[in-house]
Chain A
Amino acid sequence: MGGKGRRIARLWAAFSLVLMILAMPAYAQQDSQTGFWKGKLEVRQFNFSYAVGVRNQHYVVRSVDVWKTNYDFYQNSAGIVREELTFINHNRSVGGPVDIRLLNYAEGEGLVFDKGRPEAIEGSLKPPVRGKSLGVKHVLGFSCEGSEFKWKTFQHASVELQSWRAVNSSLRVPLLQVEYFSDSTGALIALTVRVVSLVEPSPTLPPSLFQPPEGLRIVNVPMVQ
């Protein structure tokens, strides 16, 4: 190839490079004009079970079962999120409510209740410790800042939470959360993954959607996640 051919080749390479840069995702996240959002959230909890026979202590069953819960979520311009349960794959035993979650990210408080039942739980949305930065990741086109939190519960269980939230956006719902829950002996009891599987700007939503019903009997809990 002569000198002219090399110049053409270099020009072509430069042109290709410009094309590649233009074709790369810009991560210019499209924010909601109204501050309202809607989407879907999927929670998968892997329960690691080392189950011992009640009558025969030598009978051991090792298994992992998966609790699946799906929510539709709606967010208003004040940073309040309503999550509505759309799917659950396991029978509930004695347990807290799960149907509707009103999460006020501006105030850092969450309220959870079941449709048609008076009991509700309320608690902080914030982990009880300061987080460590995990840097920046792009998730679903949003520039997200990651934080890692580690704390002990009153039962001496260890919780490790990695949470990714959009920055420079009005969206307050964490786009990805991964959590490890280990008992006091260090045995992994649960791995929980919360993923926003769909999110889009929404037209203005009625204020009533973000109000709890009257007459709830509220029990305070340390934390609502």
Chain B
Amino acid sequence: MGTYQACNEPIDYFDDSYWATWTSGTTGVAVTNPGDPGVIVGVAAGTSSIVARFSDYVYTYNGEYCDGNLSPHQGTAGVTVQEPTYVGVGSAVADTVRCGTTNYSARRLQVPYTVLDSNKSPIAVAGMTVEEQLSWTSSVCATSNDCGQEPSAGTWTTDGSGGFTDTIYNCSATCENNGSCTEDWQQTFTVNTHSVGIVNGSAVGTLNCVATDCSSTPQGVTH
């Protein structure tokens, strides 16, 4: 923002973004584009200083009239580029939910997540695409398709705080028939197609082991 001050007028402001020359202090983190003045593009996680150089007239009263002189100016600001590295588990809650229009209700676990950067700071950006991958073949988790009704993997779009909520319940036909069965799987996440880790309290891992049955609240353990 350019600043003009006439001899007898208050300060005035003008958007000089288009005419300014933009440079990034650390181009490995963020770059400027001469074809798109004022727009900073992230390259990798980190911080960089961004400098905008421009020229403005400064007016001074020389005893007879206001005399304008073109003078160089610059503004500096810091930018931080965050890269999705983890999803962080928030305060999970449990309730009972009716299984569609059936005669059965199941225990439901709702797990709020927030997308985090490499410093485990939230990335408060809406519109990131989070996808889960489910596997019944795992070297870490005990898996089971005892209920015979594997869930479909979920997809979410983050809200303005970088959050989304995973919902887990067992509404299988076996449970609906007053039977018992277990459906357990391995869960991983990607954010904007890149694999991310999981931060769950003090535990940091790469996957969740999810366990469900017909009577208990589903459980997720991070490894």
- Residue positions of A touching B, CB distance < 8 A: 43, 45, 47, 49-56, 59, 61, 67, 90-96, 98, 119, 121, 153-155, 157, 159, 179, 181, 183, 189-190, 192, 194, 217, 219-223, 225
Contact = CB atoms under 8 A, between A and B. Distances in A.
B93 A54 contact: yes
Given A59-B91, A61-B93, A96 B105 contact: no
B98 A96 contact: no
Interface of B: 91-105, 108-110, 147-152, 154-156, 167-174, 176-178, 183, 212, 217
28 contacts: A47-B97, A49-B95, A50-B95, A52-B93, A52-B94, A54-B92, A54-B109, A59-B93, A91-B156, A91-B167, A92-B151, A92-B152, A93-B170, A94-B147, A94-B149, A94-B172, A94-B212, A95-B99, A95-B100, A95-B149, A95-B151, A96-B99, A157-B103, A183-B105, A219-B173, A221-B102, A222-B177, A223-B102
Contact of B96 (A45, A92, A189): A189
A225 B91 CA distance: 35
A155 B150 CA distance: 24
A96 B172 contact: yes
A161 to B, nearest CB: 10
Nearest to B178: A154
| Most chain B CB inside 10 Å of its own CB: which residue of A54, A121, A189, A221 | A54
B102 A189 contact: no
A52 B92 CA distance: 8
A71 to B, nearest CB: 12
Nearest to A194: B101
B13 to A, nearest CB: 45
A52 B101 contact: no
A94 B218 CA distance: 11
A194 B101 CA distance: 10
A155 B100 CA distance: 16
Contacts of B156: 91
A183 B106 CA distance: 11
Contacts of A153: 103-104
Given A91-B152, A95-B169, A155 B104 contact: yes
* Most chain A CB within a 10 A radius of its CB, from B96, B105, B172: B96
B176 A222 contact: yes
B183 A94 contact: yes
B101 A93 contact: no
B103 A95 contact: no
Contacts of A222: 103, 176-177
Contacts of B152: 91-92
A67 B103 CA distance: 16
A58 B178 CA distance: 31
Nearest to A128: B103
Given A53-B91, A94-B147, A95-B171, 8 more contacts: A45-B98, A54-B217, A93-B171, A94-B151, A96-B171, A155-B105, A189-B97, A219-B174
A33 B150 CA distance: 43
Contact of A157 (B93, B105, B177, B183): B105
Contacts of A223: 102-103
A98 B99 CA distance: 11
A80 B188 CA distance: 42
A91 B155 CA distance: 8
B173 A190 contact: no
B101 A225 contact: yes
A93 B154 CA distance: 8
Given A51-B93, A54-B93, A219 B177 contact: yes
- Of A43, A45, A95, A192, the most chain B CB neighbours within 10 A belong to A95
B177 A225 contact: no
